Amino acid sequence: MTSQSESLSPDFFEALYQTNPDPWQFKTSQYEAQKYATTLAALPKPRYQSAFEIGGSIGVLTELLGDRCERVLSVDVVDRAQKEAMQRCQHLPNVRFQQMQVPQQFPKEKFDLILLSEVGYYWCWQDLRKAQQQIFDALVPSGHLLLVHWTVDAQELPLTGDQVHEAFREGVPAKFRLLTEHRYEQYRLDLFERR
Ligand SMILES: C[S@@+](CC[C@H](N)C(=O)[O-])C[C@H]1O[C@@H](n2cnc3c(N)ncnc32)[C@H](O)[C@@H]1O
């Protein structure tokens, strides 16, 4: 079980992208491509009005999301990752980008979809709890929250994927309905609907 008391810093991610502009092989990995297909297939609505993607990286999933949503706001702490994402999504005028560190910063908008994919375990407990409240407050009633996280326990991360998902499940049934849950060999996916 991991238990770092601080979230991983923007500097950590800056350094990662400096060493390798695609640190998780989002552009080439079959595993990631399949996970993205599963992620989009889990969305119950054919279209969303306004989506918020936390930690969009170089925009591979963002581009797919842009096809399903009237508007997307994608944020990341790393400017260089966002620049690549902007290039990738330049044919999608409905997708906006903003450099932002969540939960220290959070948009003052409402969304009917929030996507937290492979980001929650970089937060410490305190930041996860703050982000949970912000996410809940930013979702319109009946809005969807899609969580996707790797579940292999990595000692260098503040939290595990399971800890992130279990923390959101604590909000069921008072705050959220759990619409979909899947556990695969290396990751899990939960889809919540705000009450
Ligand atoms: C593993 S990638 C996930 C990319 C994408 N969401 C996906 O599932 O393919 C994590 C991204 O989150 C960003 N990130 C980490 N902590 C963040 C924070 N506190 N706020 C915003 N973005 C963050 C990192 O810079 C990195 O680009």
Instruction: Report whether residue 78 contacts ligand 1, using a CB cutoff of 6 Å.
Output: yes
Is 159 within a domain? yes
- Residue 1: the pLDDT is 45
Domain presence at residue 11: no
pTM: 0.97
Q: How far is residue 50 from each of residues 47, 127, 177, measured CA to CA in Å?
A: 9, 24, 20
| pLDDT per position as a tens digit, 134-169 | 999 999 999 999 999 999 977 789 999 999 999 999
pLDDT digit string, tens, across residues 15-38: 999 999 999 999 999 999 999 999
Q: Which atom of ligand 1 is nearest to the CA of 115?
A: 6
Q: Which CATH number belongs to the domain containing residue 33 in this structure?
A: 3.40.50.150
Instruction: Report pLDDT digits (tens) over 103-126.
Output: 999 999 999 999 999 999 999 999
Q: What is the number of the ligand 1 atom nearest to the C-alpha of 7? A: 19
Which residue range is the domain that position 149 belongs to? 29-194
Name the residue of 76, 99, 152 whose CB sits within 8 Å of the most ligand 1 atoms, as the mutation to test its pocket: 76
19 lies in some domain: no
* Helical axes 125-138 vs 161-169, angle rounded to 10°: 50
- pLDDT for residue 155: 77
Is 190 inside any structural domain? yes
* Within-domain flag for 96: yes
The two structure tokens encoding residue 70: 């009237």
- Is the C-alpha dihedral spanning 35, 7, 77, 170 positive or negative? positive
Query: What's the pLDDT at 79?
Result: 97
Answer whether 57 contacts ligand 1 (Cβ < 6 A): yes
pLDDT in the model for residue 69: 98
pLDDT on residue 98: 97
Structure tokens, 61: 């999933």
Q: Are 47 and 185 in contact (CB under 8 A)?
A: no
How many domains is the chain partitioned into structurally?
A: 1
